[in-house]
A and B are shown apart, each in its own frame.
Chain A
Amino acid sequence: MILQDSRPLLEVRGLCATVNGTPILKGLDFTVKSGEVHAIMGPNGSGKSTFAKVLAGHTAYQVTAGQVLYEGRNLLEMAPEERARAGIFLAFQYPIEIPGVGNSQFLRLAYNTLQAERGKDELDPLEFDDLVREKMGLLEMNPEFLDRSVNEGFSGGEKKRNEILQMALLEPKLAILDETDSGLDIDALRVVSKGVNHLAGKDNGIVLVTHYQRLLNYIVPDYVHVMDGGRIVRTGGSALALELEERGYDWIEAEASAEGTLS
């Protein structure tokens, strides 16, 4: 929802980043205010996922220029875990498997770490079990997942649901979903969307990085951005996504070149 008097949650100015010396982000500007849902679309290799990982602080990416403010703080100076504790959540495109570490144990550690950060009570295993089962119910997840190792042997869809479960538990201020919809069947897509819509509120911001329009049938964004060549080349309302679905990305690239926004 676009609110009149909402405060900026995330302000990105002229962000440039490289991976192994190759420039990926080339002067990206982007602002999220609380309450808003943004979708970032764009062709493969346009830098969408890199942008998501740079926001989370992945060490494989080097920021070479620009500024990122999160609630007025310099985000780029914060360690990845500090960003998470400050309320930034990244739902991974490819959630990693952690053999030997029980999912419920992991979820509780993450949950209690954030509770402590927020000055709230930590939960013991029994209390936490009640909470996590309630959230799993919402996401139509089998409680069996609690007893398994984190993401180990999960199908693609199960991994994505596990990401959304974590989001539901951690209640982030800024949730970034990196292609959470890819590889999901229609039921999973519906469930994942339910989780996201459940989180959305006037105090949160949500950024959906996606390739396809179909997710946006379930989660209606306030803004749709098109990324190309490491920057945002077009911003519009939710109708833009439909237009992209119909016409592809080429026309935007062509227009952008014509306007000289791509170098």
Chain B
Amino acid sequence: MSAVLQNLVNQPYKHGFVTDIESDVAAKGLNEDTIRLISTKKNEPEWLLEFRLKAFRNWLTMAEPEWANVKYPKIDFQAISYYSAPKAKPKLTSMDEVDPELLRTFEKLGVPMHERAALAGVAVDVIFDSVSVATTYKHKLAEVGVIFCSMSEAVLEHPELVKKYLGSVVPTGDNYYAALNSAVFTDGSFCFTPKGVKCPMDLSTYFRINTEQTGQFERTLIVAEEGASVSYLEGCTAPKFDTNQLHAAVVELVALANADIKYSTVQNWYAGDENGLGGIYNFVTKRGMCKGVNSRISWTQVETGSAITWKYPSCVLVGDNSVGEFYSVAVTNHHQQADTGTKMIHIGKNTRSTIVSKGISAGQSINSYRGLVKILPTAYNARNYSQCDSMLIGDQSSANTFPYIQVRNHGAKVEHEASTSKIGEDQLFYFAQRGVDAEAAVSMIINGFCKDVFRQLPMEFAVEATKLLGFKLEGSVG
């Protein structure tokens, strides 16, 4: 691989930042007492403790999955502390107090002003002339009856809703990591959009009060009742540096009849250094259930971080005429490993699904798409269209595609397209000969490659994601 390409892909993770916060940490190790401790600390009702214990007992009987195309040393689950409540961190009173390096990162990524403030830990109302963005949003949401709060808050204030839907899409014994999460989850988001309501704005975690920090085992539940619609943005392009190596989140989406849920993620967790040391193991279970007729769930993800990504946002299409969508960009560099894709389970009649996956591998990374399209006998007239494209940068990375297609109804129509391409020396030379440096060239090629997915992202998110990919792959090439 040429020097130019080496430089392009080997830039350090410039955007990491660490916040020192004192926390209330439980002793390492996992047993029923740990779970009782978590539940007590969080003042949880009895049924939730039972939910956790059931999951834990299930987990004990399960084996760690080994089918993914990733390699890592065995995790010692007894060496992890399962409860760490951050103590309130000091609120800064003005943006001037924020680390200038952090501000520069926000600037470069084009993170919106209010989001910068929230992320940097500045009280939002200080920045915006006593108009608290978060409070304003909360009021607006309350007016239309949308509930948007942390999972802990929801458990205490809306227990009937949480009890009804928690674990209804991802059962406690679904898989090894989902079971672990169900046993020890600490917090996450809860969002409920009632019947007939179109949520007036995109919901994003930084609008949520009281939850600057979410746990290592995040639990998110989003419910859209009949005819409701909501768009949820997870994370942001600013980096998340975390000392917790293992992250096992669960996200459940429930769409009732005629409901519409759009879930967008930009993941930029610490990926480890260029030698593959450190970095987050991101083992996530995300699943949406199109329960009612004509419902629709759409996943859009831009995955750039984590040492290992193991993630398959899925749709279970139960309702007739329901629609599932998955749009994904996964970028891996250095020694990163990603095994990601989706599952589309067609159960209802006339159900339709679309999969668009774009994998970009640089360095010595391994990037795999793994997807399942399953058409059950009941799914008359089901349709699926899948497109999986891989792009290689340099000659030491690898891209793999593992499509699984199971069709059990004769009337189904399933299409799968795949391609592999490469950013070559000659393409970069062509750009250079027109005066365009390698950095701008790579950015343009990558954006062209990803545009079908970026188009699905909410506007500001798309701009940030575009820049993030640039960062991830370009660096300061002279």
Contacts and interface: CB of A to CB of B under 8 A. Distances in A.
A89 B449 CA distance: 27
B361 to A, nearest CB: 16
A105 interface: yes
Interface string A224-243: 00000000000000000000
Contact of A149 (B424, B447, B448): B448
Contacts of B424: 96
B451 interface: yes
Interface residues of B, number: 23
B17 interface: no
B430 A95 contact: yes
Interface in B317-352: none
A114 to B, nearest CB: 5
Contact of B425 (A59, A79, A85): A59
B430 A101 contact: no
Contacts of A99: 421, 448-449
Contact of A59 (B2, B430, B434, B451): B2
B445 A98 contact: yes
Contacts of A79: 432
Contact of B437 (A81, A100, A102, A105): A81
B469 to A, nearest CB: 13
A14 B444 CA distance: 39
Contacts of B449: 99-100
A149 B427 CA distance: 13
B433 A100 contact: no
Nearest to B424: A96
B80 interface: no
Contacts of A95: 430
B448 A101 contact: yes
B114 to A, nearest CB: 29
Interface in B66-106: none
A166 interface: yes
A85 B435 contact: yes
Given A59-B425, A80-B429, A113 B434 contact: yes
A117 B434 CA distance: 12
A90 B426 CA distance: 13
A106 B425 contact: no
A83 B445 CA distance: 22
Nearest to B438: A81
Interface in B1-24: 2, 4
16 contacts: A56-B433, A57-B433, A58-B429, A81-B431, A84-B433, A84-B434, A95-B430, A96-B424, A99-B421, A99-B448, A100-B445, A100-B449, A101-B445, A106-B434, A170-B434, A170-B435
Contacts of A59: 2, 4, 425, 429
B427 A98 contact: yes
A81 B429 CA distance: 8
Interface of A: 56-60, 79-81, 83-85, 89-90, 92, 95-96, 98-102, 105-106, 109-110, 113-114, 117, 149, 166, 170
Contacts of B2: 59
B440 interface: yes
Contacts of A166: 434
Contacts of B431: 81, 110
B444 A81 contact: no
A70 B430 CA distance: 20
Contact of A80 (B427, B433, B445): B433
B436 interface: yes
A226 to B, nearest CB: 26
A170 B378 CA distance: 61
Contacts of A60: 425
A117 B435 contact: yes
Interface string B404-437: 0000000000000000010011110111111111
A81 to B, nearest CB: 4
Interface string B249-282: 0000000000000000000000000000000000
Contacts of A105: 444
Given A59-B2, A81-B432, A101-B444, A96 B426 contact: yes
A107 to B, nearest CB: 9
B261 to A, nearest CB: 29
Contacts of A110: 431, 434-436
Contacts of B430: 92, 95-96, 98
B448 A109 contact: no
Nearest to A116: B435
Sorted nearest first, the 8 A-B pairs with minimum C-beta distance are A100-B448, A110-B434, A80-B432, A84-B435, A113-B435, A101-B448, A81-B432, A85-B435
Nearest to B426: A96
B436 A81 contact: yes
Contacts of A56: 429, 433
Contacts of A57: 432-433
A110 B448 CA distance: 16
Nearest to A56: B433
B435 to A, nearest CB: 4
A51 to B, nearest CB: 15
Given A84-B435, A113-B435, A113-B436, A106 B429 contact: no
B448 A102 contact: yes
A81 B448 contact: no
Contact of A109 (B4, B421, B427, B440): B440
Q: Most A CB atoms within 10 A — which of B429, B432, B434?
A: B434
Nearest to B425: A59
A145 B4 CA distance: 30
A113 B431 CA distance: 11
Interface in B423-478: 424-427, 429-437, 440, 444-445, 447-449, 451
A134 B434 CA distance: 20
B446 to A, nearest CB: 9
Given A100-B449, A105-B444, A90 B436 contact: no
Contacts of B435: 81, 84-85, 110, 113-114, 117, 170
A114 B4 CA distance: 22
A83 B444 CA distance: 21
Contacts of B448: 98-102, 149
A105 B449 CA distance: 14
Given A59-B2, A98-B427, A100-B449, A106 B433 contact: no
